[in-house]
Amino acid sequence: MNPLLDIHPAVAAALQAGQAVVALESTIITHGMPWPQNVDTALRVEAAVRSAGAVPATVAIMGGRLKAGLTPEDIDFLGRAGHAVPKASRRDLPLLLSTNALGATTVATTMMVAAMAGIRVFATGGIGGVHRGAETSFDISADLLELARTPVAVVCAGAKAILDLRATLEVLETQGVPVLGYRTDELPAFYSRSSGLKLPGLLHSAAAFAQALRVQDQVAPSQGMVVANPIAPEHEIPAGVIGAHIEQALAEAATRGVAGAAVTPFLLARVAELTGGASLVANIELVLSNARLAGGIAVAYAGLRQA
């Protein structure tokens, strides 16, 4: 085990027994939503994982330690601290860990910690990807490269809608990362069910995804997988509606000089304002849906491993 990794006792016991565990990120707590919705949502997401029969393991950096599994008090602390907690991607780990700092894990770092702990399934809202204008800014999320080299399946509602979705899908294809739809043959667009971009395949059940993961263990044991789960129809924001708000938020970010790691939190917060909170509600509902599906996949996968 990595000497910098602390695994919560409940998570460790489940892993030791071969039971289902689902990793969860902490950036959504500190940067994805305002307090107190962030803490409430994080606890509801953990409950959704449990309702599916799996054990949740929210990941963060606290006291210079990698944490796989947090207490409710830890989650409340991170939620109240909010943006004061640095976003921690792969490149940030040496500094944060060596200085005993706090860090909220992105998709990339959550995948890293999950793999260290032996957790195969991870639920989040949406993955990062290729930012619009990346042909000049070269702003491409580390999430995409992590998916190419870390064996964790990420259950998500596609990539965040503020991104260049076509370019994001192309990079995943280039990296050889399977992107499979849950009962859909199109890449979900986070707030919207469809992006118009076709996926190479779809599966219809948690058990089918678990079987795909077992095959991947044998043929590509160092790679991740994207499980694309569309937002439920009743919570969807039509692409034309959300698209106009995203364009306005992007223009404002450019005017204000928002760049780098600050871009995504700014855009998500501004879009929430422009939609009168509808995007925040959609974000919460899609994360809960992803957590339930991830729990089901993890349970089925654990069953296959024990068979």
Tokens of 147: 């998916």
Residue 180 and residue 229 in contact, taking contact as beta carbons nearer than 8 Å: no
Tokens of 144: 């995409």
Q: What is the C-alpha to C-alpha distance for residues 59 and 297, in angstroms, rounded to an integer?
A: 19
How would you class 184 by CB atoms within 10 Å of its CB: exposed for 0-12, middle for 13-18, buried for 19 or more?
Answer: middle
Q: Which residues are catalytically annotated?
A: 25, 160
How would you class 198 by CB atoms within 10 Å of its CB: exposed for 0-12, middle for 13-18, buried for 19 or more?
Answer: exposed
Q: What is the DSSP track for 211-267? A: HHHHHHHHH-TT--EEEE-PPPGGG---HHHHHHHHHHHHHHHHHHT--GGGHHHHH
Cis, bond preceding 36 (omega within 30 deg of 0): yes
Q: What is the CA radius of gyration of the chain?
A: 18
- The H helix count followed by the E strand count for the chain is 13, 11
Residue 224 and residue 176 in contact, taking contact as beta carbons nearer than 8 Å: no
Tokens of 114: 């999950």
Phi/psi region, residue 211 (left: phi>0; alpha: psi -120 to 50; beta: rest), is alpha
Q: Which residues contact 281 (CB under 8 A, 6 or more apart)?
A: 235
